[in-house]
Amino acid sequence: MMRASCWDHQKKPRVTQDSGPSSMRLAGQETAGQLQVTSTLTPNGSGLSQEFEGHWPEIPERSPCVAGVLPVIYYSVLLGLGLPVNLLTTVALARLAARTRKPSYYYLLALTASDVITQVVIVFVGFLLQGAVLARKVPQAVVRAANILEFAANHASVWIAVLLTVDRYGALCHPLHHRATSSPGRTRRAIAAVLGTALLTGIPFYWWMDVWRDEDPPSTLDKVLKWAHCLIVYFIPCAVFLVTNSAIVCQLQRRGQSGPRPRVGKSTAILLGVTTLFALLWAPRIFVMLYHLYVAPVYRDWRVHLALDVANMAAMLNTAVNFGLYSFVSKTFRATVQEVIHDAHLPCTLGSQPAGVVAEPVLKPAGLPKGAEL
């Protein structure tokens, strides 16, 4: 889905024989520049066989990779910093969810876990390993199977954010009904349903055609899959975000008119931040995808090629920014992160002490302070 484009230039094209009516096809369509063909001598030594003359398809020159090695550096830094930070966020949110049993913590925990899977599957396996290290020398069946995991991870991450939005909408606009129906078990079942549905919706993308190799006009299947991707990942979730967030803001404004100015809760602030960042960071990819589909293909236009590189980098940044948002908004989250780091550092400190030295016991509170929230 978001794989390397610049390393495709290093591959040599090879011509393979098909058994169907079209006797020749290109394998390794990623090759940049003009096709180079080795002359095949016929028995009379006249150069290329008459079978090939007049039937060789004209291949357009591929757009150059302007970004160079910058995407590799970017994704390496993103993975090296983002993955440990997301793992730390997962541990902190797991502690907060176990202590408070609030649905919002469970949703944020599932969202962070989806971001971890996205970084591993798309950034590490798809881009760095398959694209930069192996230079696309991967069986096509493996590539297509990886497509299912990539799209499923994206769908899960986005739609868990939708669950969080609906939960906050219920808590603020219908508080009595929310208190009566909300429970950790119900929350876990909702998350499990979204994860299962995300995996199912990822299966059709087994037939996804990588835009880096779209030489021909898109087929009906290509259009259906690309529009399905845009709808599932962006347009439908953003419509839900817009409606529910607007209702939440209007509800807060009505409360302010009838009494003291309402205080925006930490959960609501995090919700608005998560949805806004997603809408902004994913918008370039969706725009370039539709531009590629109807105006100019990535394969032929270097400007669209560069735009898609930048758009993919912006979209993947969305998997690493939530830690900063949580830390900025929530004092409770910052305290829990410090506690996790302290607990991880304590065994190392005890292990480095001389034999016979007894460490002082560390007293920790049994739970969160009264009245503390996300």
pTM of the entire structure?
0.76
Q: Are 299 and 212 in contact (CB under 8 A)?
A: yes
For residues 53, 54, 59 and 60, what is the CA-based torsion angle, rounded to 10 degrees?
A: 130
CB atoms within 10 A of CB 140: 8
pLDDT confidence of residue 58: 42
Say yes or no to pLDDT of 162 above 70: yes
Domain 70-208+231-331: CATH superfamily is Rhodopsin 7-helix transmembrane proteins (1.20.1070.10)
CB 336 within 8 A of CB 92: yes
Q: How far apart are CA 199 and CA 152, in angstroms?
A: 5
Q: Where are the alpha helices (DSSP H) in the chain?
A: 70-100, 103-118, 140-173, 175-181, 184-202, 220-230, 236-258, 266-294, 302-317, 322-329, 331-351
Q: Which residue has the tokens 């030295």?
A: 357
CA separation for the pair 286, 294 (Å, rounded): 13
182 versus 58: the higher-pLDDT residue is: 182
User: Rounded mean pLDDT of 356-367?
Assistant: 49
Reply yes or no on whether the pLDDT at 149 is more than 60.
Answer: yes
Residue type, 295: V
pLDDT above 70: percentage of residues in the chain? 68
Q: Is residue 15 within 8 Å of 27, Cβ to Cβ?
A: yes
**Structure tokens of 217?**
């006009």
Taking the C-alpha atoms of residue 14 and residue 29, their distance in angstroms, rounded to an integer, is 9
In the chain, where the domains are located: 70-208+231-331
71-105 tens-digit pLDDT: 889 999 999 999 999 999 999 999 999 999 999 99
Of the listed ranges 34-43, 160-169, 270-279, 315-324, the least confidently predicted one is: 34-43
Task: Give the chain's mean pLDDT.
Answer: 78
| Structure letter (DSSP) for residue 6 | G
Q: Cα Rg for the chain, rounded, in angstroms?
A: 26
CA distance 253 to 67: 46
Res. 56: pLDDT tops 60: no
Asked if pLDDT for residue 10 goes beyond 60, the answer is no
CB neighbour list of residue 346: distance below 8 Å, 6 or more residues apart = 362
Q: What is the DSSP letter of 357?
A: P
Q: From residue 296, give the alpha-carbon distance in Å to each of 215, 308, 340.
A: 11, 12, 50
pLDDT value at 280 more than 50: yes
Strand, helix or coil for residue 182: coil
